[in-house]
Amino acid sequence: MSKKILLVSRHAPYGSSTAREAIDVALAAAIYDQDIGILFMDDGVFQLLKDHQGKYINQKNIDSMLSALALYGIEKIYVHQESLDNRTITTNELILDDLQLLNSIDVGHLLSQQDQLLSF
Amino acid sequence: MSKKILLVSRHAPYGSSTAREAIDVALAAAIYDQDIGILFMDDGVFQLLKDHQGKYINQKNIDSMLSALALYGIEKIYVHQESLDNRTITTNELILDDLQLLNSIDVGHLLSQQDQLLSF
Amino acid sequence: MDHASIMIFSLAIYSAPYSSQASYTAYQFAVALLSQGHSLHRVFFYQDGVHNATNLAAPPQDEFDLQKAWQQLAKDYQLDLVVCIAAALRRGILNEGEAKRYDKASHNCAEEFTISGLGQLVEAAAVSDKLISFGY
Amino acid sequence: MDHASIMIFSLAIYSAPYSSQASYTAYQFAVALLSQGHSLHRVFFYQDGVHNATNLAAPPQDEFDLQKAWQQLAKDYQLDLVVCIAAALRRGILNEGEAKRYDKASHNCAEEFTISGLGQLVEAAAVSDKLISFGY
Amino acid sequence: MSTLHTINKSPYAHNALSSCLKVCAMNDGILLLEDGVFGALISAPGAQELQILIKHGANVFALVNDIKARGLEEKVAPDIKLIDYNTFVQLTLDHRCVQSWY
Amino acid sequence: MSTLHTINKSPYAHNALSSCLKVCAMNDGILLLEDGVFGALISAPGAQELQILIKHGANVFALVNDIKARGLEEKVAPDIKLIDYNTFVQLTLDHRCVQSWY
């Protein structure tokens, strides 16, 4: 009963709990052995920046939660290139290495090839 | 101890409760005899459109709540002209008559002349 | 509707009732799909969606009571309404068992709702034909 | 700080803790103004801000517990923490009196919080030098 | 197969619609609902892109209950189809997945 | 007297900052906080207008705790002053009123 599931994470970290609670869903999907991928786009790409210091606002670091994705066996991590470009973020500023950069058309294709989408 | 208070209402009606709960604050200020004005700008101007039919989503009509403003003695009702223009809304489409239309510079002046701002 | 076209839905609700319209839309979507004879496997309440499960809301009598509406729909269709435990604990939604475990004097989760883990969202995604998200 | 420069603040908080950072910012603002010797006339909780008043939240032990922090700050400084009754009833935040009035089996408003009407926000605007809004 | 995109935020205030339009394919569907129905106005941000998508075969819908609640019935742009909750359910069946932009 | 404007939403996602910039006077102050601090990036929507305001005498601030939490310390545009919660309190005293854009 395993399905191809993509989690779409579009919100900035810290200002709201959406980014954090989306990661929890990705990790749960990995634990339950689903075929899960995760796509970061729009302000969601800010989650991938290095050097978060959540302690300054009494929150846990989002970037270290994201580092757990690989430990949980989540290998399909996609990033919308235009979202990075608009924010003048380069890939060497990002916490994760094994990212697949997608243009907008590729994102549309990726969405259309899933069995389920989890929108955050 | 009466102060010059301006309530700023910037959110669209119905999708969230902000617009509705802002009006409740304006009415409460009028009851407690404060010198209260209300400014509609950004998506807040959608609250002023005629012919709301909240019953279709099981909500009370915002436009009829706004009609109560005059009954409560709230006479200073300001609308940001550019917010109307951007939404191609003309003044004859609006529920209230005694509106003061302000350009952006006037809005800045208005904000600076208050004793308190209530931001919604 | 013939049997072959019956589809299995699950809904994921991420926003609080009243404050946001999204829970209301999800409720109307649930009513529509059930009236068409489809199956609703689960409604999963996450993030601020957990506030749909409170039994302490007392809205004015002339307003639509969404929390009560969910409870009635659950009774009518034997729905599986599941509240995420991690999201609920952070937001102050507890059933009797969790209240005891955390030494709280009271509890407020309506009995038609089950408190469980995020695995229930994942399982819903796995076994349903359609999972629809309702965000804030 | 000399006496003449002591100012009277009130804060209006419109968003839920945890889900939004705004309540946390408001808390830090309150701590800062109090540490500077200013006066905090009232903190008024409205819209989703009423969830700051729950006594049923049980966040993980390694996370900051904002509800508890408000309660402690209220004790330390004899703060007037007021929850809007209309907003609270719709969202399932009740004290013992309201629970009885609405025939609810339990209540969940921490004792450091008072439930009252919107007039308390208006009064705070009238008597304070500065009213600061913290929105979602 | 194609995707159904739902948008529940006003395009005057949020980027949900504009982000959706970047990745929306010609055979996808777009459903405006809740405050997203302000995107059905002729002058709304993204309205031109919506009309171009429609000309190329995409379907754009708006929940009629949300349109009526907000008093927008007379202001909806051409070729945006007003639908009810039952049709919303059918749309989710006509598309492979639903991406909710919020 | 002048107004202090606080913005707590990302300018990439919301219109809070751009709306504020329309009505902000030259002697006003702007404070970016929470997700609003993404507006302190050099390339953010509204960044040019912020720089123009600064050149004309307006003061633009960002809460340093929010900047650090998000890993943005090295990316803040010139002349945006990083401040702590104590200075936030002082800013509310230096201005007549506070308008919160959210």
The boundaries of the domain holding residue D76 are 3-134
Contacts 24+ apart (CB under 8 A), A87-94: A87/A45, A87/A46, A87/F12, A87/F38, A87/F41, A87/F43, A87/F44, A88/F41, A88/F42, A88/F43, A89/A45, A89/A46, A89/A48, A89/A49, A93/A49, A93/A50, A94/A48, A94/A49, A94/A50
Name which of D43, D46, D52 is nearest D23 in CA terms.
Answer: D52
Per-residue pLDDT at D2 exceeds 80: no
Q: Which of A67-71, A83-87, D85-89, F43-47 has the lowest mean pLDDT?
A: A67-71
pLDDT at residue D132, as a whole number: 98
- Specify the 3-state DSSP secondary structure of E29: strand
E1 pLDDT tier (thresholds 50, 70, 90): confident
What residues of chain F lie within 8 A of the CB of A40, using their CB? Answer: none
- Contact status, residue A88 vs residue F42, Cβ threshold 8 Å: yes
Angle at E50 between CA E49 and CA E52, to 5 degrees: 65
Per-residue pLDDT at D129 exceeds 80: yes
Select the residue of D7, D28, D131 nearest F93 (Cβ to Cβ): D7
Catalytic amino acids of C? 84
Query: Which of B41, B81, B111, B113 is the best residue to mutate to test the F interface, defined by the most F CB atoms within 10 Å of its own CB?
Result: B111
F34-64: burial string, b at 16+ Cβ within 10 Å, e else: bbbbbbbbeebbbbeebbebbeeebbbbbbb
- For residue D128, the chain B residue with the least C-alpha distance is B116
- Contact status, residue F38 vs residue A12, Cβ threshold 8 Å: yes
Using the Cα atoms of residue D16, residue D20, residue D24 and residue D25 in order, give the sign of their dihedral.
negative
Select the residue of F8, F65, F72 nearest A15 (Cβ to Cβ): F8
D27: which residues sit within 8 A by CB, 6+ positions away?
A: D66, D69, D70, D73
How would you class C32 by CB atoms within 10 Å of its CB: exposed for 0-12, middle for 13-18, buried for 19 or more? middle
User: Domain with C9 in it: what CATH number?
Assistant: 3.40.1260.10
Query: Which of B9, B53, B84, B92 is the best residue to mutate to test the E interface, defined by the most E CB atoms within 10 Å of its own CB?
Result: B53
Given a contact as 3+ CB pairs under 8 Å, which chains touch C?
A: A, B, D, E
Cα D91 to its chain centre, rounded Å, is 15
Q: Please, which residues bridge with residue A35 across strands?
A: A4
> Could you read off the pLDDT of F53-94 as tens digits, one per residue?
999 999 999 999 999 999 999 999 999 999 999 999 999 999
Asked if chain A contacts chain B via 3 or more Cβ pairs within 8 Å, the reply is no
> Could you read off the pLDDT of C104-121 as tens digits, one per residue?
999 999 999 999 999 999
Per-residue pLDDT at E81 exceeds 60: yes
The H-or-E segment that residue F16 falls in is helix F16-23
pLDDT at residue B2, as a whole number: 78
Query: What is the arithmetic mean of pLDDT over D41-55?
Result: 98
CA dist., res. D21 & res. F9, Å (int): 11
pLDDT at residue A1, as a whole number: 58
- From residue B79, give the alpha-carbon distance in Å to each of A92, B73, D117, F23: 47, 18, 28, 13
pLDDT at residue B97, as a whole number: 86
Structural domains in chain A, CATH included, are 4-119 (3.40.1260.10)
pLDDT at residue B89, as a whole number: 97
D39: which residues sit within 8 A by CB, 6+ positions away?
A: D6, D7, D8, D9
Query: What is the arithmetic mean of pLDDT over D62-70?
Result: 97
- How far separated are the first and last CA of chain E, in Å rounded? 23
Q: What would the two tokens of residue E51 be?
A: 């009309």
> Could you read off the pLDDT of E26-42 as tens digits, one per residue?
999 999 999 999 999 99
The H-or-E segment that residue C132 falls in is strand C130-134
Of residues A67 and D93, more confidently modeled: D93
Cα B45 to its chain centre, rounded Å, is 7
Q: What percent of chain D has pLDDT over 90?
A: 96
Q: Return the residue matching tokens 């991406």.
A: E99
Which residues of chain B, if any, have pLDDT below 70?
A: 1
Per-residue pLDDT at D1 exceeds 80: no
Using the Cα atoms of residue E62, residue E4, residue A120 and residue C112 in order, give the sign of their dihedral.
positive
Query: Which of E21, E23, E49, E95 is the best residue to mutate to test the A interface, defined by the most A CB atoms within 10 Å of its own CB?
Result: E23
CA dist., res. D66 & res. D96, Å (int): 22
Counted domains in chain D: 1
The verdict on a CB contact (< 8 Å) between C94 and D67 is no
- Across chain F, how many H-helices and E-strands are there? 4, 5
> Could you read off the pLDDT of B63-77 as tens digits, one per residue?
889 989 989 999 999
> Could you read off the pLDDT of F36-49 as tens digits, one per residue?
999 999 999 999 99
Per-residue pLDDT at F96 exceeds 80: yes
pLDDT at residue D86, as a whole number: 98
Name which of A95, F10, B70 is nearest E15 in CA terms.
Answer: F10
Q: Does F100 touch chain E (CB under 8 A)?
A: no
pLDDT at residue B64, as a whole number: 87
- Contact status, residue E14 vs residue E1, Cβ threshold 8 Å: no
Neighbours of A51 (CB within 10 A): 14
D51 pLDDT tier (thresholds 50, 70, 90): very high
Q: Does B60 touch chain E (CB under 8 A)?
A: no
Contacts 24+ apart (CB under 8 A), E62-65: E62/E31, E62/E32, E62/E33, E62/E36, E62/E37, E63/C25, E63/E31, E63/E32, E63/E33, E63/E34, E63/E37, E63/E88, E64/B56, E65/B56, E65/B57, E65/C28
Per-residue pLDDT of chain C in tens (136 residues, 90 and over written 9): 455 589 999 999 999 999 999 999 999 999 999 999 999 999 999 999 999 999 999 999 999 999 999 999 999 999 999 999 999 999 999 999 999 999 999 999 999 999 999 999 999 999 999 999 999 9
Name which of B43, B37, B113 is nearest B84 in CA terms.
Answer: B43
Select the residue of F1, F2, F15 nearest B42 (Cβ to Cβ): F15
pLDDT at residue A64, as a whole number: 87
Please tell me the CATH code under which domain F3-101 is placed: 3.40.1260.10
CA dist., res. C88 & res. A27, Å (int): 18
Cα F16 to its chain centre, rounded Å, is 11
Q: What would the two tokens of residue A35 be?
A: 């075929």
* Average pLDDT over chain D, rounded to an integer: 96
What one-character DSSP code corresponds to residue F35? G
Query: What is the arithmetic mean of pLDDT over D80-102?
Result: 98
User: What pTM does this model have?
Assistant: 0.97
Q: What percent of chain E has pLDDT over 70?
A: 100
- From residue B85, give the alpha-carbon distance in Å to each of B81, B90, E34: 6, 8, 22
Q: Return the residue matching tokens 């007021």.
A: D82
Q: What would the two tokens of residue A38 be?
A: 């995760």
Q: What are the percentages of helix, strand and coil residues in chain C, rounded to 5?
A: 45, 20, 35
Name which of B87, D21, A24 is nearest F37 in CA terms.
Answer: D21
- Specify the 3-state DSSP secondary structure of F50: helix
Q: Does B17 touch chain C (CB under 8 A)?
A: yes
- How far separated are the first and last CA of chain B, in Å rounded? 23
Per-residue pLDDT at A2 exceeds 90: no
pLDDT at residue F62, as a whole number: 98
